[in-house]
Amino acid sequence: MTVQLTAPIILPFLAAALAMLAWRWVAVQRWLGVAGAIAQLVAGIVLLVTTRSQGVVATQVGDWPAPFGITLVADLLSATMVVITGLLGLVVVVYSFGGLDNRRESFGYYPLLLILLTGIAGAFLTGDLFNLFVWFEVMLIASFVLLTLGGERAQLEGAIKYVTVNLVSSALFLSAVGIIYGLTGTLNMADLSERLRDLDEPVLETTVAMLLLVVFGIKAAIFPLFFWLPASYHTPPVVVSAIFAGLLTKVGVYALIRTFTLLFVDDVEFTHGILLAIAGLTMVVGAVGAVTQQDLRRMFSFLVISAVGYIVMGLGLFTGVAIGAALFYLFQDAIAKTALFLVCGLVRWVGGSFRLEQLGGLYRTDPLLAGLFLIPALSLAGIPPMSGFVAKIGLVDAGIAGGQYLVVGLALLASVITLLAVAVAWAEAFWKAAPEGARVELEEYRARSRGERMSMFVPVIVLIAMVVGLGLGAQPVLELALDAGAQLMEPHAYLDAVLGADR
Amino acid sequence: MELILSILVGVLFAAALYSMLRRSIVRLAIGLTLLSHAANLLIFTVSGVSRTDTPIVPEGREAPLIGSSDPVPQALILTAIVISFGVLAFLLVLVKRVYQAVGSDDSDDLTSTER
């Protein structure tokens, strides 16, 4: 069991170390990047198959029994997220072959990306609150450097905002961890779950719950803590934006889901009521923000925020079906958002800009690209048969079943606004006549070899095929998400796996 | 002792916030440094300050003696200090690079990402 749980963390880390040794040989780094991501993907799939057949699996690092040592634990949610991490990592590495300038490639891009993947997988697999903090920091420091790699002015300015907000969130996280330890004397999440249930300190418990809501809310970019995201996510090259948009906020959402299903379930009316209110505001504010943007990447940054709202809505409804639907949303949105940012990169290569007023007429020159853009964009708005439709209908259904008509109304409203935003973007970039003096096709792009162009198009096409596939053939993944949701609502399997059944 | 430390933690948090809300990005870095100190001291205080023995396992025993102090908060703080040291080193370089790129340390001038 130990190997299966540690492999998704160790293998990309090993590849990162080797890639650093191969500092001067960018070609070697590229293939180590591919190898590391594939290794993580395969390890993730093995783990998912294991958790599907055996239920929750756990291992105690260094053989220190829980709750004293650090526990690694995988349930269906963790295992699926690891698979998605490996998949998106692989896609982004391959896209970087052609999509990233050589200067950035030769300054440690691949090792950093692999360390980011390591940190993300660690955060998904750990069963210890302090260890989660450590994985967050591993992930953050890699993301700080990826964000600033290249050192353009906008990148540095975006990085100041991103770094500051994340450090504040880390300090609050540490404070919350300290208070929890003072309250219960444990940091193992399974052990905490039991001790918090017996703890008779409702005020302090709610205080800690709200502290962690703020901490993970900042990482997940929920209302009103999202302002850093559209100020920073669009500044680095699209490959970096794509992996950030697909995975980093999702780690925050994962942590929210984990803590508010496992730890803080004593006062559901209060805590999950707050989550529901936040979810409604996040969905609408994200979508409205997207409509007003002229830069494609900023528009999709706002749509990242909106999507977080939908996932938190499922958590706030707090039924097995609602959380299952939210998890399906989480899985498919990670893929769709990464695909969209990568498509934005292609739009810039062939259209010369990210800004809508400088783009136009691309439908005539690149009908394939117009289609590639439209599919994930419509999926975000929840148009059938794409995966976003299945996810949204699941959430709306769960909302109606729970009698939360207001938040359902907001979800539908946000969908309509999202549709407006992406339709305007598509019409502006592809349909309208090219503006006077538009630069079409960057010099650099023309200089790319056929293989390098393929390395950009193929990953995007794979992801978009998955967006459509998850919509048309949703059943197996939906079942997986519903099982994962049921597992989260009934944590005894998780507790048994970590603490032993004979406790 | 706990009372004094609690007040100190509060003062540190307040000072950190005050520093971060100034417009200069150098003060921002100072504020973030103070913030990590405040969090570390909070862990130390909240887990109980005591004058008991060090938690070293005596020879021939499996566990530390009952009544020795709790090693976990110290391990947590030590880890957190190391992490914040690394992150703050990065932050200082970032502040310097921003100053070079923008030509000012006023956070109101960091506006090129807002269009």
Q: Per-residue confidence at A441, pLDDT binned at 50, 70, 90? A: low
* CA dihedral sign of residues B20, B26, B30, B32: positive
CA-to-CA separations, B102 to A153, A164, A227, A289, in angstroms, rounded: 7, 17, 21, 27
Tokens matching residue A275: 């989550």
Q: Are strands A71-74 and A57-60 parallel, antiparallel or unpaired?
A: antiparallel
**Would you call B28 and A160 a contact, using CB atoms and an 8 Å cutoff?**
yes
Taking a C-beta distance cutoff of 8 angstroms, is the pair A147, A162 a contact? yes
Q: Which of B39, B87, B112 sits opposite A157 (nearest CB)?
A: B112
Cβ–Cβ contact A214 with B under 8 A:
no
pLDDT digits (tens, 9 = 90+) for A120-129: 999 999 999 9
Q: Are A299 and A345 in contact (CB under 8 A)?
A: no
pLDDT of A353: 84
Q: Tokens representing A19?
A: 């890639």
Q: Nearest residue of B to residue A157 by CA position?
A: B110
Which residue carries 């406790």 as its tokens?
A503
**A133-to-A176, A298, A306, B80 alpha-carbon distances in Å:** 11, 28, 25, 9
Structure tokens at A237: 């090259």
Average pLDDT on A271-294 reads 94
Nearest C-alpha in A relative to B17: A168
Whether residue A486 lies within 8 A of chain B, CB to CB, comes out as no
- For A454-472, b where at least 16 C-beta lie within 10 A, e where not — what string? ebbbebbeebbebbeebbe
Residues B41-98: tens digit of each pLDDT = 999 998 878 787 778 888 888 777 777 788 888 899 999 999 999 999 999 999 999 9
Q: Which among A144, A154, A181 has CB closest to B113?
A: A154
What is the C-alpha radius of gyration for chain A, rounded to an integer number of angstroms? Answer: 22
Where does the pLDDT of residue A326 fall: very low under 50, low under 70, confident under 90, or very high at 90 and above?
A: very high
What one-letter code names the amino acid at A15? A
pTM attached to this predicted model: 0.94
**A-B Cβ pairs (cutoff 8 Å, strict):** 111
Domain-wise residue ranges, chain A: 2-499
Distance CA A279, CA A307 (A): 9
CA–CA separation, A292 and A357 (whole Å): 13
Contacts of B41 (CB under 8 A, 6+ apart): B5, B8, B9, B12
Confidence label for A417 from pLDDT (cuts 50, 70 and 90): very high
Tokens of A64: 């220190």
Closest CB to B91 among A158, A163, A177: A163
Angle between helices A320-351 and A387-401 (to 10 degrees): 150
* A234–chain B nearest CA distance, Å: 8
**B87–A167 CB contact, under 8 Å:** yes
pLDDT digits (tens, 9 = 90+) for A131-150: 999 999 999 999 999 999 98
Facing B94 at nearest CB: one of A140, A163, A234: A163
Helix H or strand E encompassing A72: strand A71-74
Best of B42, B113, B114, B115 to disrupt the A interface (most A CBs within 10 Å) is B113
Domains and CATH numbers, chain B: 2-51+71-108 (1.10.287)
pLDDT band, very low/low/confident/very high, at A17 (cuts 50, 70, 90): very high
- Residue A257 has a pLDDT of 96
With an 8 Å Cβ cutoff, are B113 and A232 in contact? yes
Give the pLDDT band of residue B102 (cuts 50, 70, 90).
confident
